[in-house]
Amino acid sequence: MKKSVLACLFATAMLSLSAHAADKIRMGVVVKVGGNAWFNAMEAGIKSEAAKRGIDAWQVGPTSADPALQVRAIEDLIAQKVDVIGVVPNDARVLEPVLKRAHDAGIKVIVHESPDQKYADWDFEMVDATQHGINHMVALAQCMKEKGDYAVYVGSLTVPLHQKWADAAINYQKEHYPNMHLVGDKFGVGESLDDSIRTTNDLMSKDANLKGILAIGSQGPIGAGRAVLNRGKTDDICVFGPFSPGQGASLVKAGAIKGGFIWNPMVAGEVFVRIAEKLEKGEKITDGMTIEGMGKVKVDEATHTILGNETESLDKANLPKLVKMGL
């Protein structure tokens, strides 16, 4: 009898453990590209926050910034029947069909850096896009003494958020700095180190009046800074843009990158997990609420957008603090 009771208790305990495991939220986050410092920091944030909250979450980093690779990664997550899919899109439109399949399968979708993304439950932005672009233009204009030619890089011509940042910066320049002139159109090279270096070298060779580069994309400022440093143009050309502090620290110290503004990608990874947990628990996300890592947020329910307002300056004074954090 005792053996029978013990067996019964053991079986009940195993069933309870199994049920608990089955209830554990499972989330995969697909980023633009794997292996660079920015998304390595994001992955650390995802892992640490997931462990803290008892969530099974991981990051998938494609080998290149190719939208087709993101589609495949999302298809794989759908096949795994995860509860939540997070994405930092390379091409918002290319992802629409696969995100629709995720949505139709009952999987919640959270995107980052992709305003107005179709088939997403929420897009979260660590800072308002328009203000972020303006902040960079003001800094660039001050460095250029409000005159001369400048170029703008974006990670890709199909990344909506990069377009918003760039357009806000360009529009602000046109209104406030008439003696500055945009060279050509936006260059979609900011996620490739080699392309950013090559484009900067071409621009320096062709335009003697080039005085500034606003480089958006994780590798844009790094590539532009390296090219400017190699040409001995650190006193002539101002490079501004968001970049990973550890990767760009030596270029800032050398004066090849003058600065920029970022949010902490590690915190963005944590926010992915926090929002996922809220969605799975059925908690409402409302205007004015506080989300850890984003502060008091603005919420647009019509566009499913959550806006924070916390950034870090990438100047010589603040950079050592960020590097020390492992960014």
Structural domain boundaries enclosing 191: 129-262
**What is the rounded average pLDDT of the residues 118-139?**
95
Provide the pLDDT for residue 9: 43
With bands split at pLDDT 50, 70 and 90, how would you rate the model's confidence at 175? very high
How does residue 7 score in pLDDT terms, banded at 50, 70 and 90? very low
Q: What is the mean pLDDT of residues 169-180?
A: 98
pLDDT value of position 21:
46
Report the number of distinct structural domains present in the chain: 2
pLDDT level of residue 22 (50, 70, 90 thresholds): low
Give 3-state DSSP helix, strand, coil % of the chain, rounded to 5.
45, 15, 35
Q: Exposed, middle or buried by CB within 10 Å (0-12, 13-18, 19+), for 318?
A: middle
- Please indicate, yes or no, if residue 46 is contained in any of the structural domains: yes
The residue whose two tokens read 């020390």 is 324
Residue 19 lies in a domain: no
Nearest to 128, CA basis, from 1, 250, 310: 310
pLDDT digits (tens, 9 = 90+) for 292-318: 999 999 999 999 999 998 888 999 999
108: in domain: yes
Percentage above 90 pLDDT, the chain:
81
pTM (2 d.p.): 0.73
User: Residue 1's pLDDT is what?
Assistant: 43
Residues 133 and 248 in one domain: yes
Query: 171 Cβ partners below 8 Å, 6+ apart?
Result: none
Q: Are residues 140 and 31 in the same domain?
A: no
The answer to whether 197 and 171 have CB atoms below 8 angstroms apart is no
Which residues share a beta bridge with 299? 306
Question: How far apart are alpha carbons 74 and 86 in whole angstroms?
Answer: 9
Answer yes or no: do 193 and 258 share one domain.
yes
pLDDT in tens, 110-123: 999 998 899 999 99
In this structure, the answer to whether residues 255 and 165 fall within a common structural domain is yes
Same domain, 121 and 138: no
Q: Same domain for 149 and 103?
A: no
